[in-house]
Amino acid sequence: MNEFAEETIHPDLQQNIRRLREISDNTSDLMVNEFLLSGIPAALLTCEGMVATSIITELILEPITHVQLSAPTAQTVFSHIQNRLLLSLDRSEAKNYRDLFRFLNSGFAVLILHGASSALVFGVQGYDKRAVMEPSGESNIMGARDGLIEVVRINMSLLRRRMKTPFLKMELFPVGDKTQTDLCLCYMHDRVPQKLVREIRERLQSTELESVLSTGYLQPFLENRRGNLFDTVSTTQRPDVLCAKLLEGRVGILIDGVPYAMIVPKLFSESFQTMDDYCFRPYYTTCIRWIKYLAFLITLLLPALYVAVALHHPELLNRTLLLLLAQSEENAPLSLTAEAIGVLLIYEIIREAGLRLPKAVGGSVSIVAGLIIGDAAVSSGLISTPILTVTAIAVISGFVLPDLNQPLTLLRLGMILAGGLWGLFGISLVGAAVLFNLCAGESFGMPSTAPIAPFRRKSMRDVLTRVSFRKMQSGHFTVEEYHE
Amino acid sequence: MNRIRSGQLTTALLLSNAFMLMCMSAPMGMESMWGAVIAFVLQGILCIPMLLLYKEGFTLTAYCSRKHYIVPLLFVLYFIVRGGISFLLLWKGSEHLSLPFSQPLITAALIGAVCLYTASLGLRTFARAGTIAFGFLIFTLGILLLGAWQRIDFQQLYPTADNTVFGSAMHILSLGDTLPALFVLLSFTDQKSAFSSLRFLGLSLLLWEVILFLCITVLGNLLSAAEYPFFLLTSVSQPLTTQRADAFYLIVFVLLCVIRLTLLTVLSAHLLGMLFPGLRCRSILSILGMIGAAAAFSAMGFEENLWCIIGIVLFACVIPLLFCLRMKKNPEWKEEPTS
């Protein structure tokens, strides 16, 4: 904890300014404008680049320099400004240096007065920010086009625009000793279990983090068990998705500086749902959803099954397929397991390279990977065509479920290894372990595998199928129903 | 140990039973179908004392907290022995499953390692996994029926000379070793214990009858030569003409095996924990005990026999009956200890 955290504001203006400069070590972006306010020495503190200069001039400096009281003291001037002048909608008072710096560095203008042991703060933020635009990661066809941005207050407004009910509650509080990042806890207070909100708030406020720069910093504090392969906290860039989740009694967490919202709890079945599912006709959505389930199995199991069957259980293949595989693998210099793992590792390397490189260079990575490596490896006989085809199908199927990319990448490799070493028996064993790991996932008492295990027949209407909103409109489902 | 739902109890025990059904190696005939009915009716009768006991409010946790060691230790021993028998059945069955290695110890070590992990996740996780595995089982049965229905020959349903209804009933009863597990699990289940037990027995009977019917009518004369009728049935009933589906049955078989061994490990480890709270590595001890028992049975040439039935009657009926009779004198067995 900083030594100045609880230190109250010094009533002497010059000593106060000296102390402020001392704490901030004469930082260049601290702007101090001294002037006389109704005859009392005063100073307006701002952080350069964080405030809108025109707003300060017009709405703060102009009115307060005209204040003339008959017997002015620090208290009467403050009281006059507080009660008679509505300089800003976002007004507050800082009692100590920690609060003062938090407001100052959040883009507030801070008014300090000789003789006053507190400071008045006015919200006049005017820093540059990215415009609200379509989210890059969660594109859809018929849903809304706006996505969350880095400014928490804009994100709150995006949410409020969709949810005009007074039951939507947003709680702002700072987290992170050094960054003092604003966190906004959002929930529908008529739907959410109060115990869930209380527990999340307590966990977030009890963190001893110095900084919160992304969702990953807070995620471990919201997860109940280590060793889970699958996330129990979901993230979204879309305000409409966040609204839908809040209406189901979940809690959303917006972080200042992060264009993602975290949602607690997350169910595994949500990885197969998108906003478009609720825009298209139910029969089409049901079909697409089953394709996604199939894609999940393909991306996880196909390369491993191929390796296991080809190496250990060739009797399971029909004659034509067996001859085809035997012919293509005849001249391959590497074992099938090594080939499969090698191809997948190369794919991961190429993917990582494409992600991190500048976009201009990223395109050439695809050309080198696809044309040169792929074509050359097959024509030189280093890699067989079937393994390349199987891997490509598995990888493309994985693109259908971007939410599950991380666990699937690791599990795919594990499955291939198990299939290569122990055949279908190995795949079954790893599969059983993964199934148990998935079932062990729990978020604040809500099992990840709900509504399949524990089974809820009513919820199957949005898991196995997607029924029409005529049927879904009744019932007011909340995630609390799954609590165990 | 967390509480589980009555539906989860049903699926967990049913899956455990399904593994035994897959490993059944006795001769089959129409008598087996009647034998199954009798065996499950007998199991229902054996359940009555434990249901009465739980109706009185008995809990195993309260019983163990009164420092009664012998009965829980006997249950631990029973679960370890049944786990050993399961390992033995897996070794024998694996010969028909074309595993890539022939040494049973590797099979046991791999299954043991996985069960160690799955058992460490607790009963509630096990119960949830059971629900999903139950879905797999239903799907498997669907595939099996799809492949088998065209080969069903009703003329094969005739009495056989080398089988009796009584003999079949006793054999199936000896395989129905989940009743003692039911007794322990009822302590951790929501109410509706009688309903859960009846549903479990009813569904188990249905499963047995379906498989027995398919084995008899599809395999016909092949049945007399089949060491493991279920595996032969899966080989014969292929739903696709160009592609074999045996891989799917192998996956389900291994999953059921893991579920069964996890159940036995979780129960024995939990009972050990209630008796000796300071004891660590309880799951490891249980698994090692099971593998040791399997090795011993393998050396002795163990067969499912009268001893299994005696064990089931003792743990599922006699002990609960004795508890029932002594319940009035020991009202403290009713309450859950407050922590």
Report the phi/psi class of residue A25: left, alpha or beta, with left for phi > 0 and alpha for psi in -120 to 50.
Answer: left
Residue type, B228: Y
A contacts of B251 (beta carbons < 8 Å): 424, 427-428, 431
pLDDT 10s digits, A422-445? 999 999 999 999 999 999 999 998
Among A89-98, A152-161, A293-302, B101-110, the minimum mean pLDDT is found in B101-110
- A168 beta partners: A188
Nearest residue of chain A to residue B241 (CA atoms): A318
CB contact, 8 Å: B46 with chain A? Answer: no
Alpha-carbon span B32 to B173, nearest angstrom: 11
CB contact under 8 A, B244 and A454: no
CB contact under 8 A, A436 and B262: yes
Mean pLDDT of A6-17: 89
Residue A49: phi, psi to the nearest 5?
85, -10
Interface confidence (ipTM) of the complex: 0.93
Closest to B320 measured CA to CA, from B201, B179, B183, B181: B183
- pLDDT, tens only, B236-292: 888 877 777 777 888 888 999 999 999 999 999 999 988 888 888 899 999 999 999
Residue B215: inside a domain, yes or no?
yes
State the amino acid at position B155 in one-letter form: Q
Q: Which residues of B touch A311 (CB under 8 A)?
A: 100
Which residues in chain A are contacts of B124 at CB distance < 8 A? Answer: 484
Residue B263 domain-assigned (yes or no): yes
The residue among A91, A97, A125, A111 whose CA lies nearest residue A24 is A97
Residues from chain A that touch B97, judged by Cβ atoms under 8 A, are 425
What is the residue extent of each domain of chain A? Answer: 2-123, 152-266, 282-443
Secondary element (H or E) of residue B268: helix B246-275
Distance from CA of A418 to the nearest CA of B (A): 11
At A355, the amino acid letter reads L
- In whole angstroms, what is the distance from residue A65 CA to residue A71 CA? 16
Residues A220-243: what's their mean pLDDT?
A: 91
Q: Which of residues 116-135 of B touch A (CB under 8 A)?
A: 117-118, 121-122, 124-133, 135
| Closest to A267 measured CA to CA, from A430, A396, A143, A404 | A404
B133 contacts A437? CB cut-off 8 A: no
Q: What is the mean pLDDT of residues B298-309?
A: 76
For A188-207, what is the mean pLDDT?
A: 93
Whether the CB of B101 is below 8 Å from some CB of chain A: the reply is yes
The number of residues making up chain A comes to: 484
Asked if A439 lies within 8 A of B247 by C-beta distance, the reply is no
Q: Given an 8 Å threshold on Cβ–Cβ distance, is B251 in contact with A427?
A: yes
Give me the pLDDT at residue B336, please.
57
DSSP notation for A74-104? HHHHHHHHHHH----SSEEEE-BHHHHHHHH
Which band of pLDDT confidence, cut at 50, 70 and 90, is reported for residue B337? very low
Which chain B residues are closer than 8 Å to A432 by Cβ?
114, 118, 254-255, 258-259
Check CB contact under 8 Å for A454 and B246.
no
How many separate domains does chain B show? 1
* Closest residue on chain B to A453 (Cα): B128
Q: Report the share of chain B in percent with pLDDT over 90.
A: 38
Mean local confidence (pLDDT), B319-328: 86
pLDDT above 80 for B168 = yes
Supply the pLDDT for residue A240: 94
User: Hey, are the CB atoms on A484 and B110 less than 8 Å from each other?
Assistant: no
> B100 and chain A: CB distance < 8 Å anywhere?
yes
Nearest to B117 among A305, A315, A433 (CB): A433
Q: Please, what sign has the CA dihedral across residues A289, A290, A291, A295? A: positive
Does B146 reach chain A within 8 Å, measured CB to CB? no
CA distance B118 to chain A (A): 6
**Domain span at residue B196?**
14-330
Which residues of chain B neighbour A433 with C-beta distances below 8 Å?
A: 114, 117-118
Q: List chain B residues with CB under 8 Å of A419.
A: none
Give the residue on B whose Cα is nearest the Cα of A428: B251
Is there a contact between A424 and B251 if contact means CB atoms under 8 Å apart?
yes
Encode pLDDT of B22-37 as tens digits.
Answer: 888 777 888 889 999 9
Smallest CA–CA distance from A423 into chain B, residue: B100
Average pLDDT rounded to a whole number, residues A191-209:
93
- What is residue B303's predicted lDDT score, i.e. its pLDDT? 66
pLDDT band, very low/low/confident/very high, at B304 (cuts 50, 70, 90): low
Residue in chain B nearest A455 by alpha carbon: B131
Rounded to a whole number, what is the distance in Å from the CA of A439 to chain B's nearest CA?
Answer: 5
> In b/e form, how buried is each residue of A53-88, taking b as 16+ CB within 10 angstroms?
eebbeebbbeebeebeeeebebeebbebbeeeeebb
Q: Are A439 and B132 an interchain contact pair (Cβ–Cβ within 8 Å)?
A: yes
Reported in sequence order, the residue ranges of A4-94 that DSSP labels E, i.e. its strands, are: 30-37, 40-47, 91-94
Q: Closest approach of chain A CAs to the CA of B313, in angstroms?
A: 32
B95 touches chain A (CB under 8 A): no
Whether B102 and chain A come into contact, CB under 8 Å, resolves to no
Cα–Cα distance measured from residue A267 to residue A132, given in angstroms and rounded to the nearest whole number:
28
Q: CB-based contacts of B108: which residues, under 8 Å, 6+ apart?
A: B87, B90, B91, B291, B294
**CB spacing of B251 vs A437 below 8 angstroms:** no
- Distance, in Å, from the CA atom of A481 to the CA atom of A126, rounded to the nearest integer, reads 44
Q: What is the dihedral of CA A431, A437, A442, A446, to 10 degrees?
A: 30
Helix or strand or coil: residue A187?
strand
- Collect all residues of chain B within an 8 Å Cβ-Cβ radius of residue A439: 121, 125-126, 128-129, 132
Is the predicted pLDDT of residue B179 greater than 70, yes or no? yes
Q: Say yes or no to pLDDT of B207 above 50.
A: yes
Average pLDDT of the segment spanning A152-176: 93
Q: Looking at CA atoms only, how far is residue A391 from chain B in angstroms? A: 20
Taking the C-alpha atoms of residue A87 and residue A82, their distance in angstroms, rounded to an integer, is 9
Task: Give the DSSP letter of residue B29.
Answer: S
DSSP A349-380: HHHHHHHHS-HHHHHHHHHIIIIIIIHHHHHT
Q: Is B110 on the interface with A (CB under 8 A)?
A: yes
How remote is the C-alpha of B273 from its chain's centroid? 22
Kindly report the average pLDDT of chain B as a whole number: 86
- What DSSP designation does B4 have? B
- Please report residues of A whose CB lies closer than 8 A to that of B255: 428, 431-432, 435
Structure tokens at B95: 């010969």
Which residue of B115, B128, B138 to mutate against A (max A Cβ within 10 Å)? Answer: B128
Provide the 8-state DSSP code for A25: T
Interface of B with A in 298-327 (CB under 8 A): none
Choose, out of A312, A428, A456, the residue to mutate when testing the contact with B (most B CBs < 10 Å): A428
The burial of A189, by beta-carbon neighbours within 10 Å (0-12 exposed, 13-18 middle, 19 or more buried), is given as exposed
Least confident of A63-72, A103-112, A395-404, B171-180: A63-72
Tell me, rounded to whole angstroms, the distance of Cα B215 from its chain centroid: 20
Tell me if A152 sits within 8 A of A179, measured CB to CB: no
| Nearest to A117, CA basis, from A34, A7, A39 | A7
DSSP state of A60: I
pLDDT of A154 strictly over 90: yes
Upper half-sphere CA count for residue A135 (Cβ side, 13 Å): 25
> Can you give the pLDDT at residue A135?
87
* CB contact (8 A) between residue B118 and residue A312: no
- Confidence band for B1, pLDDT divided at 50, 70 and 90: low
Residues of B in contact with A437 (CB under 8 A): 121
Nearest to A454 among B128, B246, B255 (CB): B128
The A-side interface with B (CB below 8 A) comprises 305, 309, 311-313, 315-318, 421-429, 431-433, 435-437, 439-440, 447, 449, 452-455, 484
What pLDDT sits at residue A475?
67
Q: Is A77:A67 a contact under the CB 8 Å cutoff?
A: yes
Of residues B41, B308, B4, B27, the one with CA closest to residue B198: B41
- Shortest Cα–Cα distance, B246 to chain A (Å): 7
Mean pLDDT of B130-154: 91
pLDDT digits (tens, 9 = 90+) for A22-73: 998 889 999 999 988 888 999 999 998 888 888 888 878 888 888 888 888 8
Distance of CA B23 to the CA centre of its chain: 11
CB A155 within 8 A of CB A214: no
Contact B290, B260 (CB under 8 A): no
Q: How far is A272 from chain B (nearest CA, A)?
A: 17
Can you tell me the distance from the alpha carbon of A209 to that of A468, in angstroms, rounded to the nearest whole number? 45
